[in-house]
């Protein structure tokens, strides 16, 4: 296999001490709303899993290596590689996690020192749409690779491109529900403000095809309600809305009370 160059994100390292359960995936992916501090709930629906993103909110992709060996994770946001800005492919650059390690990826990598924040925004303002690639807006995906020769690493890294991927070697699954076209995508991921995120370098040799490909879909809460993924919000009525002065005079208490 071709050896690949990797970037080490020492500032993002956070080692996990708890061993994973047997049923866990190789890499667990979760989305954190950085403005509210909440983990975004994942909603399985038909053949996909959805999260609700609030426009204007920054978010982070939290990656957790549930194994005792290094893994390479290629991160795709809206169909764009979050490290290189290329149209995403599993053979491209990705983050390398040490055994049991968790880290939060907070933006598009701009250099060895900075990223541009991930932020939920209107679809036309998304980075993918602004660079002429709007077809896959609303997706966050990872392709995870095991290492051919396992070795330890004190900090998390980013792996550079491998040899070109062969046909059928692990491309992300296509959308399976034609009904998705009935509800247009409303939000995407913008190219937000820059923030400090230093990186070093390491090497990683992939052990064949991706061991895992995982995809999340996202959209605004109203769009998820329109698709039937979230319950529709019911407007308050004058009978259900709390009021400071709902009645008239003070009634007698129930019998048995003085």
d(CA 115, CA 95): 14
Tell me how many domains the chain contains: 1
CB 213 within 8 A of CB 173: yes
Q: Note whether residue 257 is domain-resident.
A: no
pLDDT along the chain (258 residues), means of 10: 43 36 82 97 95 97 97 96 96 94 96 94 96 96 90 60 46 38 85 86 90 97 93 58 65 64
Per-residue confidence (pLDDT) for residue 89, from 0 to 100: 96
Q: Note whether residue 251 is domain-resident.
A: no
Strands (E), 53-170: 58-65, 71-77, 80-81, 94-97, 101-105, 107-109, 114-122, 139-146, 157-159
Give the contacts of 5 (CB within 8 A, at least 6 positions apart). Answer: 159, 160, 201, 202, 203
Q: Note whether residue 42 is domain-resident.
A: yes
Per-residue confidence (pLDDT) for residue 171, from 0 to 100: 35
Per-residue confidence (pLDDT) for residue 118, from 0 to 100: 98
Q: Note whether residue 134 is domain-resident.
A: yes
Per-residue confidence (pLDDT) for residue 234, from 0 to 100: 57
Local structure of residue 206 (DSSP, 8 states): B
Q: Note whether residue 235 is domain-resident.
A: no
Q: Note whether residue 238 is domain-resident.
A: no
Q: Note whether residue 243 is domain-resident.
A: no
Per-residue confidence (pLDDT) for residue 158, from 0 to 100: 64
The residue length of the chain stands at 258
Q: What are phi and psi of 241, to 5 degrees?
A: -75, 130
CB 10 within 8 A of CB 33: no
Q: Give the tokens for residue 168.
A: 């059928």
d(CA 71, CA 96): 6
Q: Which domain holds residue 148?
A: 3-227
Q: Note whether residue 241 is domain-resident.
A: no
């Amino acid at each position: 296999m071709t050896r690949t160059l990797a970037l080490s994100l020492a500032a993002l390292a956070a080692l996990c001490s708890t061993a994973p359960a047997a049923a866990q995936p190789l890499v667990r992916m979760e989305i954190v709303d950085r403005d509210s501090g909440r983990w975004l709930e994942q909603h399985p629906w038909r053949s996909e899993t959805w999260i609700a993103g609030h426009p204007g909110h920054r978010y982070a992709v939290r990656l957790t290596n549930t194994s005792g060996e290094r893994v390479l994770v290629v991160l795709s946001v809206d169909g764009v590689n979050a490290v290189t800005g290329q149209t995403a492919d599993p053979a491209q650059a990705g983050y390398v996690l040490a055994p049991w390690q968790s880290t939060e990826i907070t933006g598009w990598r701009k250099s060895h020192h900075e990223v541009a924040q991930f932020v939920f925004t209107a679809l036309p303002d998304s980075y993918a749409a602004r660079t002429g690639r709007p077809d896959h807006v609303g997706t966050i995906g990872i392709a995870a690779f095991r290492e051919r020769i396992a070795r330890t690493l004190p900090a998390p890294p980013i792996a550079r491109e491998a040899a070109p991927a062969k046909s059928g070697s692990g491309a992300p699954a296509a959308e399976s529900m034609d009904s998705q076209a009935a509800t247009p995508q409303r939000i995407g991921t913008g190219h937000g403000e820059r923030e400090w995120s230093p990186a070093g370098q390491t090497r990683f040799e992939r052990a064949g095809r991706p061991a895992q490909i995982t995809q999340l879909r996202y959209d605004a809460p109203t769009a998820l309600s329109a698709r039937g993924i979230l319950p529709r919000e019911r407007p308050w009525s004058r009978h259900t809305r709390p009021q400071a002065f709902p009645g008239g005079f003070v009634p007698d208490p129930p019998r048995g009370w003085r």
